Amino acid sequence: MSWRWGDRLVLAAAWTAGILLCVIAASIVLYMGYRGIQYLRPGLIFSRPQTSSDQAGSGGFLDPLLGTMLLTVIGIALALPLALASAVWITEYGRPSWLARVVESSIEIVAGTPDIVIAIFGIALFQLSLMAPFSFTAEGGGVYGRSFIAAGAMMSLLALPPVYAATRDGLLAVPGHQREAAFALGKTRITTIRRVLLPSVRSNIATGATLGISRIIGSTAIVLLLLGSTLRIETQGSFPGINVLRGTGSSLTTYIYENSPAGEGGAPQKAYAAAFVLLIFVLVLNLIVDRIGRAQASATGLTPVGAVI
Amino acid sequence: MGSNRLERLLERLRRPWPDHRAERLLGAVSLLVGVGVVAIVVFVAAKAWPLFQHNGLSWVLGGGDLEAEVNRMTAATTNPAAAVFHLRAWPLIYGTVLTSAIAVVLGLTIAILASVFIVELAPARVSRAVIPMVRLLASVPSVIYGLIGILVLVPFVGNHIITTQEKVSVQNVVQLTGAGLGVTAVILTIMITPIMIALICEALGSVPPSWREGAVALGLNPLRAVRAVTLPAIRPAIVAAAVLAAARALGEAVMIQMVSGGKFFSPKPIDGVVFFFEPLRTLASAIVDFRDGVNSPALGAAIYGFALLLLFSAFALSVTGYLVKLPLRKYQTRG
């Protein structure tokens, strides 16, 4: 059966599109890998950035690495309770219905807000004098507004929609008879949520959280605007623990940015090394999401919600 | 006495909660997100107010010398005169719309072709290999796209693709370094295509297979069956994908700042091929460029104004995408 020429052209175009995307993805990974192996030395991961006029002496990216991890922890810690509470409330309660529409729409709006606008909002919010304890106050009375807490709080806005959506979809997929069985045994609604429903959507929550972590570690705009302009972690005040939260620092993403020609430039090798590490993190997180999805599919016999891609 | 009351309170909290208390608490926490969204709009709008106070809505139009206006704003650090607030930021809006439009049009074409490929045309083994690649493209951080752009693509374009003749032809107006519209549009397309592929694949998968089988039974070859039956059925998903990808594209800040050349210049299509090499700035990349001026009275108001415009545009696009996707829900079956 032979096809007309026009159809064959479209077929070729479709194949080209598919193969092209694979080629682009593969070349990004291979090129970053090549550059990463070329420039990454274990010492870089464990040494702190230092000011130095010479490349060899300017240290590694331990501080940015710790900064990324700290931001992720703060972001997820703030996002999880909020997202879980919202998802549970929407699926299990959800009255009055105007409130349900408001909550659902708000999370969609937050999901669609560009990172840079979230960052600008963070600056506006944390420069209120009310928020002075969360960063520091310069002489002259202006609140600096940039700290790990400020950036972490805005990161939680990034992670909120994925966790919410995954949890909500998981809860919706729990068959009604599980709830009914719990009620028949005399449990209250809140107890069935705590003891029956939430444990059964554990893997959905994990998927959502991993997607949220992925978004957090990849975000640059929020860190650029909200974490101050120091490469090393600088603490603020003397209360141990809190002083790091109130302090400034950098993340892997801003380290890459600052070392590229767009920032202070001058050290593309460090940028490549850090970018390689960042890409490894992202790939690992992708694999985790994949694994969770496959484990869930084999356990329940259903494909994970929301996945052809 | 006090410890007794405390103990009783803790005891009350430890006992299983009545449903109405739990419902109210969860509802209050959920409402926080709604409050947060309102806060975002209120805070950004409040800080952007001086820009609107002095320009009305006409700051989105063109006509002034944007570079001089911004320099004036940067220089005025305390109590600026009213004239300093004058702004005509059309080049930024033009840059934003231009890059996003090119990326969405290019990306949608590639996304539809690739989705049809993945879902309908490719053998299962090939599909299984392509899907993780697309997911990978979606999860690469934008700063890495920007890094590859600025360290690999920009020098390549600047040294090997732009001819000296082309550089000379515009050298009185602008310098062509390779960083400009072309590289920006290409990378932006790569960034937003996976989003569209995900949505379109999901929609393709939810069309009942009997529709396509019926078309094949009537004598259409598989490709024509898809074109005639499946694609029209998922038109809402295609629109939704385009709209959501557009929202993503116009909010992209860091990658564009790294590869767009950073000049307040409006690329002119009349220039022919050189059009794709001319530098530009978008609203989002301008915010990144001038982020240090967010506290200065005039420049700060401008920055918040750009953010407000981005917020409303992304909001409008997201709402449109959501509304367009609603009719699709009736096709989707759960598990």
Residue spans of the domains in chain B: they are: 91-290+298-331
A139: number of Cβ within 10 Å:
5
Q: Looking at the complex, does the CB of residue A30 fall below 8 Å from at least one CB of chain B? A: no
pLDDT at B147: 94
In chain B, the residue whose alpha carbon lies closest to the alpha carbon of A217 is B141
Instruction: Tell me which residue range forms the domain holding A114.
Output: 40-300
Inter-chain contact A112–B130, Cβ cutoff 8 Å? no
ipTM, interface predicted TM-score of the complex: 0.89
Contacts of A12 in chain B (CB under 8 A): none
The pLDDT of residue A2 is: 67
Give the one of A116, A275, A302 whose C-beta lies nearest to B144's C-beta: A275
pLDDT of residue A71: 94
How many A-B residue pairs are in contact by the CB < 8 A criterion?
271
pLDDT number for residue A56? 54
Q: Determine the Cα–Cα distance for residues B312 and B310; give it in Å rounded to an integer.
A: 6
- The residue among B15, B23, B30 with the most chain A CBs within 10 A of its CB, best to mutate, is B30
Q: Specify the residue for token string 């029209």.
A: B232
Nearest residue, CB atoms, B144 vs list A261, A268, A278: A278
Q: Which two tokens stand for residue B265?
A: 């210049």
d(Cα B256, Cα B285) in Å, to the nearest integer? 6
Residues A60, A45 contacting (CB under 8 angstroms):
yes
Q: Output the pTM of the full model.
A: 0.89
Q: Which band of pLDDT confidence, cut at 50, 70 and 90, is reported for residue B117?
A: very high
Write out chain A residues lying below 8 Å of B253, CB-based. 114-116, 221
If we measure between CA atoms, which residue out of B254, B286, B313, B47 comes closest to residue A113? B313
Kindly report the backbone phi and psi dihedral angles of residue B129, in degrees, each rounded to the nearest multiple of 5, phi listed first. Answer: -85, -30
The DSSP line for chain A is -PPPHHHHHHHHHHHHHHHHHHHHHHHHHHHHHHHHHHH--HHHHHS-----SSGGGS--SHHHHHHHHHHHHHHHHHHHHHHHHHHHIIIII--SHHHHHHHHHHHHHHHHS-HHHHHHHHHHHHTSGGGGGGS-B-TTS-B---SHHHHHHHHHHHHHHHHHHHHHHHHHHS-HHHHHHHHHTT--HHHHIIIIIHHHTHHHHHHHHHHHHHHHHH--HHHHHHS-S-SS-B--SSSTTHHHHTSB---HHHHHHHHSTTTT-S-HHHHHHHHHHHHHHHHHHHHHHHHHHHHHHHHHSSPPTT---
Q: Which residue among A21, A25, A188 sits closest to B16, beta carbon to beta carbon?
A: A188
Contact call for A102 and B223, based on CB within 8 A = no
Asked, for residue A19, whether it belongs to a domain, the answer is: no
Q: Does residue A309 lie within any of the structural domains?
A: no
Query: Phi, psi (5° rounding) for residue A234?
Result: -110, 125
Determine, for residues A309 and B202 on separate chains, whether the beta-carbon distance falls below 8 Å. Answer: yes
Is the CB of residue A181 less than 8 Å away from at least one CB of chain B? no
The C-alpha angle A220, A116, B260, rounded to 5 degrees, equals 75
B120-152 as b/e: b if 16+ CB within 10 A: bbbeeebbeebbebbbbbbbbbbbbbbbbbbbe
The answer to whether A61 touches A39, Cβ cutoff 8 Å, is no
Average pLDDT value over all residues in chain B: 88
The model's confidence at residue B1, banded by pLDDT at 50, 70 and 90, is low
Domain membership flag for residue A15: no
Q: What is the domain class of B91-290+298-331 according to CATH?
A: mainly alpha
Give φ, ψ of A149 to 5 degrees: -65, -45
Confidence of residue B296 (pLDDT cuts 50, 70, 90): confident
- Residue contact A125–B39, C-beta within 8 A: yes
Residue A90 burial (C-beta neighbours within 10 Å; 0-12, 13-18, 19+): buried
Q: How far is B180 from chain A (nearest CA, A)?
A: 14
| pLDDT by position in tens, chain A (length 309) | 567 888 889 999 999 999 999 999 999 999 999 998 888 888 777 777 776 655 555 677 888 899 999 999 999 999 999 999 999 999 988 888 888 988 988 998 899 899 999 999 999 998 887 777 777 766 566 777 788 889 999 999 999 999 999 999 999 999 989 889 998 998 888 888 888 888 889 989 999 999 999 999 999 999 999 987 788 888 877 777 777 888 888 899 999 998 888 887 778 888 999 999 999 999 999 999 988 888 877 776 655 444 444
CATH number, domain at A159? Answer: 1.10.3720.10
Q: Cα angle vertex B252, ends A169, A279, to 5°?
A: 70
Residue B135: CA atoms inside 13 Å, Cβ hemisphere, count? 20
**Touching check for A183 and chain B: CB below 8 Å?**
no
With a pLDDT cut of 90, the percent of chain B lying above it is 43
Selecting from A117, A124, A218 the residue whose C-beta is nearest the C-beta of B47 gives: A124
3-state helix, strand and coil shares in percent for chain B, rounded to the nearest 5:
80, 0, 20
- CA–CA gap between residue A165 and residue A108 (Å, rounded): 10
CA distance A29 to B140: 9
A27, part of any domain: no
Q: How many domains does chain A have?
A: 1
